[in-house]
Amino acid sequence: MLCCPVCANNAIPEECRKTAVDLFPVEGFPAGTGPSLEQILGFAAILGLGADPNRFRSVLNSTADLKKLLHSFQNNLDLLIQKTWVEKAEEIRKENLLDRIPAFITGIEEEKYPEVLEEFGVILGELAWLFFGSQSQKPDFTEYTLRIDTQMGLFWWYGNQLCNPGTLEWIKRTDREILKPILFLGICFLTNF
Protein backbone atom coordinates (compact mmCIF):
# COMPACT_ATOMS: atom_id res chain seq x y z
CA MET A 1 0.00 0.00 0.00
CA LEU A 2 1.64 3.16 -1.19
CA CYS A 3 -0.10 6.38 -0.54
CA CYS A 4 0.94 9.92 0.17
CA PRO A 5 -0.52 10.69 3.64
CA VAL A 6 -1.64 14.18 2.59
CA CYS A 7 -3.32 12.92 -0.61
CA ALA A 8 -4.96 10.07 1.27
CA ASN A 9 -6.21 12.42 3.98
CA ASN A 10 -7.71 14.70 1.34
CA ALA A 11 -9.61 11.72 -0.13
CA ILE A 12 -11.30 10.97 3.21
CA PRO A 13 -14.87 12.29 3.35
CA GLU A 14 -15.09 15.59 5.17
CA GLU A 15 -17.31 14.19 7.96
CA CYS A 16 -14.58 11.64 8.87
CA ARG A 17 -11.41 13.60 8.13
CA LYS A 18 -10.84 15.25 11.51
CA THR A 19 -11.35 11.97 13.37
CA ALA A 20 -8.94 10.17 11.05
CA VAL A 21 -6.28 12.87 11.09
CA ASP A 22 -6.47 13.03 14.89
CA LEU A 23 -5.55 9.34 14.88
CA PHE A 24 -2.51 9.77 12.60
CA PRO A 25 -1.67 13.45 12.05
CA VAL A 26 0.52 14.12 9.01
CA GLU A 27 3.09 15.93 11.18
CA GLY A 28 3.17 12.99 13.61
CA PHE A 29 3.20 12.93 17.39
CA PRO A 30 6.04 13.77 19.77
CA ALA A 31 7.73 10.76 21.40
CA GLY A 32 5.66 9.12 24.12
CA THR A 33 2.43 10.78 23.06
CA GLY A 34 -0.32 9.77 20.72
CA PRO A 35 -4.03 9.93 20.23
CA SER A 36 -6.23 9.75 23.29
CA LEU A 37 -8.44 6.74 23.91
CA GLU A 38 -11.41 8.97 23.09
CA GLN A 39 -9.89 9.80 19.68
CA ILE A 40 -9.27 6.10 19.06
CA LEU A 41 -12.85 5.31 20.07
CA GLY A 42 -14.01 8.03 17.66
CA PHE A 43 -12.17 6.32 14.82
CA ALA A 44 -13.55 2.95 15.96
CA ALA A 45 -17.03 4.43 15.68
CA ILE A 46 -16.54 5.55 12.07
CA LEU A 47 -15.17 2.06 11.27
CA GLY A 48 -18.45 0.67 12.60
CA LEU A 49 -16.86 -0.69 15.78
CA GLY A 50 -18.20 1.95 18.11
CA ALA A 51 -21.70 0.69 18.77
CA ASP A 52 -20.45 -0.48 22.16
CA PRO A 53 -17.34 1.45 23.24
CA ASN A 54 -17.30 -0.55 26.49
CA ARG A 55 -16.73 -3.74 24.46
CA PHE A 56 -13.63 -2.17 22.90
CA ARG A 57 -12.45 -1.04 26.34
CA SER A 58 -13.02 -4.52 27.81
CA VAL A 59 -10.76 -6.08 25.16
CA LEU A 60 -8.06 -3.62 26.18
CA ASN A 61 -8.40 -4.46 29.86
CA SER A 62 -9.57 -8.08 30.14
CA THR A 63 -7.31 -11.05 29.46
CA ALA A 64 -10.32 -13.34 28.92
CA ASP A 65 -11.90 -10.95 26.37
CA LEU A 66 -8.53 -10.53 24.67
CA LYS A 67 -8.10 -14.32 24.31
CA LYS A 68 -11.60 -14.62 22.80
CA LEU A 69 -10.91 -11.77 20.41
CA LEU A 70 -7.56 -13.17 19.29
CA HIS A 71 -9.11 -16.59 18.72
CA SER A 72 -11.90 -15.07 16.61
CA PHE A 73 -9.40 -12.84 14.81
CA GLN A 74 -7.15 -15.76 13.87
CA ASN A 75 -10.07 -17.88 12.69
CA ASN A 76 -11.53 -15.06 10.60
CA LEU A 77 -8.18 -14.05 9.14
CA ASP A 78 -7.39 -17.66 8.23
CA LEU A 79 -10.77 -17.92 6.49
CA LEU A 80 -10.31 -14.61 4.67
CA ILE A 81 -6.89 -15.65 3.40
CA GLN A 82 -7.86 -19.20 2.46
CA LYS A 83 -11.06 -18.18 0.69
CA THR A 84 -9.41 -15.46 -1.36
CA TRP A 85 -9.04 -16.55 -4.94
CA VAL A 86 -5.63 -15.85 -6.45
CA GLU A 87 -3.68 -16.97 -9.49
CA LYS A 88 -1.70 -20.17 -8.99
CA ALA A 89 1.53 -18.13 -8.88
CA GLU A 90 0.18 -16.23 -5.85
CA GLU A 91 -0.61 -19.33 -3.75
CA ILE A 92 2.83 -19.13 -2.11
CA ARG A 93 2.05 -15.56 -1.07
CA LYS A 94 -1.13 -16.79 0.64
CA GLU A 95 0.73 -19.59 2.41
CA ASN A 96 3.45 -17.19 3.59
CA LEU A 97 0.80 -14.87 4.98
CA LEU A 98 -0.94 -17.72 6.79
CA ASP A 99 2.41 -18.73 8.27
CA ARG A 100 2.93 -15.22 9.73
CA ILE A 101 -0.27 -15.19 11.77
CA PRO A 102 0.70 -17.49 14.70
CA ALA A 103 3.87 -15.48 15.47
CA PHE A 104 1.83 -12.29 15.17
CA ILE A 105 -0.70 -13.58 17.73
CA THR A 106 2.13 -14.65 20.05
CA GLY A 107 3.61 -11.14 19.80
CA ILE A 108 0.28 -9.66 20.85
CA GLU A 109 0.02 -12.05 23.79
CA GLU A 110 3.55 -11.07 24.83
CA GLU A 111 2.58 -7.38 24.49
CA LYS A 112 5.34 -6.57 22.01
CA TYR A 113 3.26 -3.79 20.51
CA PRO A 114 5.92 -1.88 18.55
CA GLU A 115 7.02 -5.04 16.75
CA VAL A 116 3.47 -6.31 16.36
CA LEU A 117 2.20 -3.03 14.89
CA GLU A 118 5.00 -3.02 12.35
CA GLU A 119 4.19 -6.64 11.46
CA PHE A 120 0.48 -5.79 11.27
CA GLY A 121 1.26 -3.18 8.63
CA VAL A 122 3.02 -5.87 6.59
CA ILE A 123 0.14 -8.31 7.08
CA LEU A 124 -2.36 -5.66 5.98
CA GLY A 125 -0.26 -4.90 2.90
CA GLU A 126 -0.31 -8.59 1.98
CA LEU A 127 -4.05 -8.82 2.62
CA ALA A 128 -4.62 -5.78 0.42
CA TRP A 129 -2.61 -7.48 -2.33
CA LEU A 130 -4.69 -10.66 -2.00
CA PHE A 131 -7.97 -8.73 -2.09
CA PHE A 132 -7.13 -6.03 -4.64
CA GLY A 133 -4.04 -7.25 -6.51
CA SER A 134 -1.74 -4.65 -8.00
CA GLN A 135 -4.32 -1.91 -7.33
CA SER A 136 -3.18 -2.05 -3.69
CA GLN A 137 0.26 -0.79 -4.73
CA LYS A 138 -1.01 2.27 -6.58
CA PRO A 139 -0.79 5.74 -5.03
CA ASP A 140 -4.58 6.17 -5.22
CA PHE A 141 -5.39 2.92 -3.37
CA THR A 142 -7.00 4.70 -0.41
CA GLU A 143 -9.16 6.79 -2.74
CA TYR A 144 -10.09 3.64 -4.67
CA THR A 145 -11.23 1.81 -1.52
CA LEU A 146 -13.05 4.87 -0.18
CA ARG A 147 -15.10 4.93 -3.40
CA ILE A 148 -16.07 1.29 -2.85
CA ASP A 149 -17.08 1.75 0.80
CA THR A 150 -16.20 4.50 3.27
CA GLN A 151 -15.59 2.23 6.28
CA MET A 152 -13.50 -0.20 4.27
CA GLY A 153 -11.56 2.69 2.74
CA LEU A 154 -10.87 4.14 6.18
CA PHE A 155 -9.66 0.75 7.34
CA TRP A 156 -7.18 0.54 4.43
CA TRP A 157 -6.17 4.15 5.12
CA TYR A 158 -5.41 3.04 8.70
CA GLY A 159 -3.36 0.11 7.37
CA ASN A 160 -1.46 2.43 5.09
CA GLN A 161 -0.68 4.72 8.02
CA LEU A 162 0.89 1.79 9.88
CA CYS A 163 3.36 1.42 6.99
CA ASN A 164 4.18 5.12 6.82
CA PRO A 165 7.89 5.68 7.74
CA GLY A 166 6.96 8.54 10.09
CA THR A 167 4.40 6.37 11.87
CA LEU A 168 6.89 3.50 12.12
CA GLU A 169 9.39 5.80 13.83
CA TRP A 170 6.69 7.06 16.18
CA ILE A 171 5.68 3.45 17.00
CA LYS A 172 9.26 2.55 17.96
CA ARG A 173 9.47 5.32 20.54
CA THR A 174 5.94 5.24 21.97
CA ASP A 175 4.54 3.70 25.14
CA ARG A 176 2.72 0.39 24.67
CA GLU A 177 -0.41 1.73 26.42
CA ILE A 178 -0.85 4.13 23.51
CA LEU A 179 -0.02 1.49 20.89
CA LYS A 180 -2.32 -1.24 22.16
CA PRO A 181 -5.64 0.47 21.27
CA ILE A 182 -4.19 1.56 17.90
CA LEU A 183 -3.48 -2.11 17.12
CA PHE A 184 -6.85 -3.30 18.36
CA LEU A 185 -8.70 -1.01 15.95
CA GLY A 186 -7.45 -3.18 13.10
CA ILE A 187 -7.80 -6.45 14.98
CA CYS A 188 -11.45 -5.71 15.82
CA PHE A 189 -12.22 -4.57 12.26
CA LEU A 190 -10.77 -7.72 10.69
CA THR A 191 -12.47 -9.92 13.26
CA ASN A 192 -15.81 -8.52 12.09
CA PHE A 193 -14.91 -8.25 8.35
Q: What percent of the chain has pLDDT over 70?
A: 94
Dist CA 99 CA 184 (whole Å): 21
Dist CA 105 CA 120 (whole Å): 10
Which pTM does this prediction carry? Answer: 0.88
Asked if 174 contacts 32 with a C-beta cutoff of 8 angstroms, the reply is yes
CA distances from 51 to 45, 56, 88, 156, 187 (A): 7, 10, 40, 20, 16
Q: What is the pLDDT of residues 83-93, one digit of tens each?
A: 888 788 788 88
Whether 1 has a pLDDT exceeding 60, the answer reads: no
Q: What is the pLDDT of residue 3?
A: 55
The full set of domain ranges for the chain reads 35-191
Q: What is the pLDDT of residues 3-58, one digit of tens each?
A: 555 567 778 888 889 999 888 888 888 777 889 888 998 999 899 886 666 777 88
Report the Cα 28 to chain-centroid distance in Å: 17
In this prediction, residues 177-192 reach a mean pLDDT of 91
Mean per-residue pLDDT of the chain: 87
Report the Cα 58 to chain-centroid distance in Å: 19
Residue ranges of the alpha helices (H) in 24-112? Answer: 37-46, 53-61, 63-83, 91-109
Q: What is the pLDDT of residue 5?
A: 55
Q: What is the pLDDT of residues 139-175, one digit of tens each?
A: 999 999 999 999 999 999 999 998 888 888 888 888 8
| Cβ-proximal residues to 169 (8 Å cutoff; 6+ apart), any chain | 28
Confidence band (pLDDT; 50, 70, 90) for 59?
confident
Q: What is the pLDDT of residue 7?
A: 61
